Amino acid sequence: SPLPPFLALLCFGATTLTVPLAHAGPGAEEPPWCPYKVLGGEGAAGGRLCFRPPARGFQCAARACRAHRSPGGALVANVLANGSVLLQWGPPRPAAGLRGFALNCSWDGTYTRFPCDSVELGAACRDYLLPEAHGSVRYRLCLQPRYAPPRPAPPAQCVEFRLEPAAMRDIVVAMTAVGGSICVMLVFICLLVAYITENLMSPALGGAAAAAAA
């Protein structure tokens, strides 16, 4: 059906992560779209319903990703090198009566904890991308399944992690590149001065000495 892709195009600000997908054999069904709604930091009502494809088959490579797991192991935060975070979780049990998931986000300040955007996800969702996370900030993300009444909601799975400050790495790389350029320029200037001293100043001094002797 072309309806989910059309709604995904209409959704302003929806972010899609491009990751390798699991190989599907002939006749395999396409993975379901994940509907989600981003709410404000205080959990205020609003937001726009968006759709994104699942990132199935994604594996956290050691050099470009670092995985953090919740104490129960049900929720995994894959911190990528570009500053984004891909959350992954398995199907909850029991699956009957599952309405969706609630994802709550917060981060530590100097003296208190501040809320960030919370997300409501559909029952078919098994991952979510946090596109822009700040470096040197400790995040706490909690995922809680939601069931139809009278089944109560189970305890939330929470994972905590801290991103490395990417800005400092960029500054160090930039300063190293600038320092290398300055060194190359100084070497070139020294060679130029030596060439001028040897080839231009020496004949002039020799001519002046010959004139004085005559």
Number of Cβ within a 10 Å radius of residue 70: 18
Q: Rounded to an integer, what distance in angstroms lies between the CA atom of residue 57 and that of residue 31?
A: 12
State the pLDDT at residue 190.
Answer: 83
* Cα 106 versus chain centre, distance: 17
Give residue 202's pLDDT. Answer: 59
**Domains assigned to the chain:** 34-163 (2.60.40.10)
Per-residue pLDDT of the chain (214 residues; tens, 9 = 90+): 444 444 444 454 444 333 333 333 444 455 578 999 998 755 555 678 899 888 888 888 878 889 999 988 889 999 988 888 999 998 888 888 899 999 999 988 777 778 888 899 999 999 999 887 777 788 999 999 999 888 887 889 999 988 776 554 455 445 555 666 787 777 778 887 777 777 766 555 555 555 555 5
DSSP secondary structure of the chain:
--HHHHHHHHSTT------PPPP--TTPPPPPPEEEEE--TT--S---EEEE---TT----TTTEEEEE-TTSSEEEEEETTS-EEEEEPPPS--TTEEEEEEEEEEE-SSSEEEEEEEEEETT--EEEE----TT-EEEEEEEEEE-TTSPPPPPEEEEEE---HHHHHHHHHHHHHHHHHHHHHHHHHHHHHHHIIIIIHHHHHHHHHHHH-
pTM value is 0.61
* 53, 34 Cβ separation under 8 angstroms: yes
